Amino acid sequence: MPFSSLGLSPALLRALVEKGYLAPTAIQTAAIPAILQGRDVVGSAQTGSGKTAAFALPLLQQLADAPATAQRRVRGLILVPTRELAAQVGEAIVSLAKYLPRRVKVAVVFGGVSINPQMMNLRSGADMVVATPGRLLDLIDHNALTIATAGTLVLDEADRLLDLGFGEELGRILGLLPAQRQNLFFSATFPPAIEALAASMLHKPLRIEVPAAVQAEPDIVQRAIEVDASRRTQLLRHLVQSEGWSRVLVFVATKHAAEIVADKLRKADIEAEPFHGELSQGKRNQVLQDFKLKILQVVVATDVAARGIDIAQLPVVVNYDLPRSAVDYTHRIGRTGRAGESGVAISFVSADTEAHFRLIEKRQRLSVPREQVAGFEPVQTGESPEGAPASNGGIKGKRPSKKDKLREAAARGQQQKE
Ligand code: AMP
């Protein structure tokens, strides 16, 4: 089915042609007509499914069709969990709105940067606001904007919003929105807390479940390389230098590891930078920008980068440290193989993380053959002293944190759904 049969205006179709989107993805085909009709939608979809355009296109169309008012009013509010996703969604909307007869103003607001420029920008109003919850409430408290006019609310990555502890903020924001509104709810997983939130917000929603095979369109080759934990950096350096990868996103467990590994790669003349939550927003933007522009070959990141970041043509993701949960594994490897491209996801598995990786395989219902690289064959065994149980892979503390428990609950919810 072509985009032209979904009821979109010629100006939007023109932008789609320019972006090179030839046909709608599964979620776009299902969601766009329903949203245009004013229906609530609940979509089970990951990043990579095309969900941003699935909600952005009909929102823009509704905006273009609405009579002009003397002052801009916020008509659409899009809540996202992270700054990076906010910036990405904002950019996507602006590029889709490019040929609309009336200029659409999209304000993107997130924390971690000065609030003043955002307040200044909002003085002349905005048609759409893409926001992380905390900063949105700060701006509302400063009287910089009102969301009482927002006829459409989008929750993007709702599970992640709750995971990150935004539940309370969400409750406050819902109370400030008009009671009569359209709600679009997107989430990768549907654990009980998300189901409950969806049930409380949505009115007779259209439920869209993009089948897993179509959803991520992943042409991702998953590999697992056995290596001693102490030789992982050397192996990484060897692979980066010998495999001819143009760009690699490497996931580690801690900010400290991100710094150390990036530093060691740089010493081997590999253009590498760390990416984690303690860097300033300016630095994070710079790293992402340089990675996108292919100035950087390697980014060594914590899970801050696991969700939502969209880097076209990223051929390789490496799990230097294994993710804590199967859900995180999916998000990490989903950074490659996007929009129909192929990708490789490599996990380093050492004696003490083998059991943890097997658990991830079990949850994912997959079996990844173990490989060894000549010169890096492991010599350590998996036996823990005094029969102690295998650790969780040396990934942060051993005791599950509150976040771990939430993640595990999310993973269980996902399994039940399957
Ligand atoms: P999203 O799931 O919204 O993060 O989108 C994932 C990627 O797919 C982005 O790079 C989009 O630009 C791209 N994309 C979205 N819709 C389409 C489409 N219909 N055809 C081709 N690429 C698309």
Go through the domains of the chain in sequence order and give each one's CATH number.
Answer: 3-210 (3.40.50.300), 219-371 (3.40.50.300)
Using the mean position of ligand 1's atoms as its centre, give its distance from the Cα of residue 198 in Å. 24
Identify the pLDDT of residue 282.
83
Identify the pLDDT of residue 365.
76
Using the mean position of ligand 1's atoms as its centre, give its distance from the Cα of residue 309 in Å. 12
Identify the pLDDT of residue 410.
54
Q: For ligand 1, what atom is nearest to the CA of residue 308?
A: 4
The gap from C-alpha 225 to its chain's centroid, in whole angstroms, comes to 26
3-state percent breakdown (helix, strand, coil) of the chain, nearest 5: 45, 15, 40
For ligand 1, atom 19, name the residue with the nearest CA. 24
- Is-contact 220 336, C-beta < 8 A? yes
3-state SS assignment for residue 77: strand
Amino acid at 283: K
Identify the pLDDT of residue 396.
36
Residues of the chain scoring pLDDT < 70: 47, 211-218, 305-313, 337-341, 381-418
- Is-contact 115 132, C-beta < 8 A? no
For ligand 1, atom 6, name the residue with the nearest CA. 48
Question: pLDDT by residue (tens digit) across 48-85?
Answer: 789 999 999 999 999 999 888 878 999 999 999 988 89
Using the mean position of ligand 1's atoms as its centre, give its distance from the Cα of residue 33 in Å. 18
Question: pLDDT by residue (tens digit) across 227-281?
Answer: 999 999 999 999 999 988 889 999 999 999 999 999 999 999 999 999 988 888 7
Using the mean position of ligand 1's atoms as its centre, give its distance from the Cα of residue 366 in Å. 26
Q: Which two tokens stand for residue 398?
A: 């051993």
3-state SS assignment for residue 122: helix
Identify the pLDDT of residue 33.
96
3-state SS assignment for residue 58: helix
For ligand 1, atom 11, name the residue with the nearest CA. 50
Pocket test for ligand 1, best of 16, 88, 310 (most atoms within 8 A of CB): 310
Query: Which residues sit with their C-beta closer than 6 Å to ligand 1?
Result: 21, 24-25, 28, 47-53, 310, 312, 338-339
- Is-contact 206 42, C-beta < 8 A? yes
Identify the pLDDT of residue 164.
79
Using the mean position of ligand 1's atoms as its centre, give its distance from the Cα of residue 299 in Å. 22
Identify the pLDDT of residue 357.
93
pTM over 0.85? The answer is no
Q: For ligand 1, what atom is nearest to the CA of residue 92?
A: 12
Identify the pLDDT of residue 401.
47
Pocket test for ligand 1, best of 17, 19, 336 (most atoms within 8 A of CB): 19
- Is-contact 319 252, C-beta < 8 A? no
For ligand 1, atom 4, name the residue with the nearest CA. 47
For ligand 1, atom 21, name the residue with the nearest CA. 21
Task: Round to whole Å and give the CA distance between 295 and 58.
Answer: 36
Identify the pLDDT of residue 416.
45
For ligand 1, atom 1, name the residue with the nearest CA. 50
Integer-rounded Cα Rg, in Å, for the chain is 22
- Tell how strand 248-251 and strand 272-275 pair up: unpaired
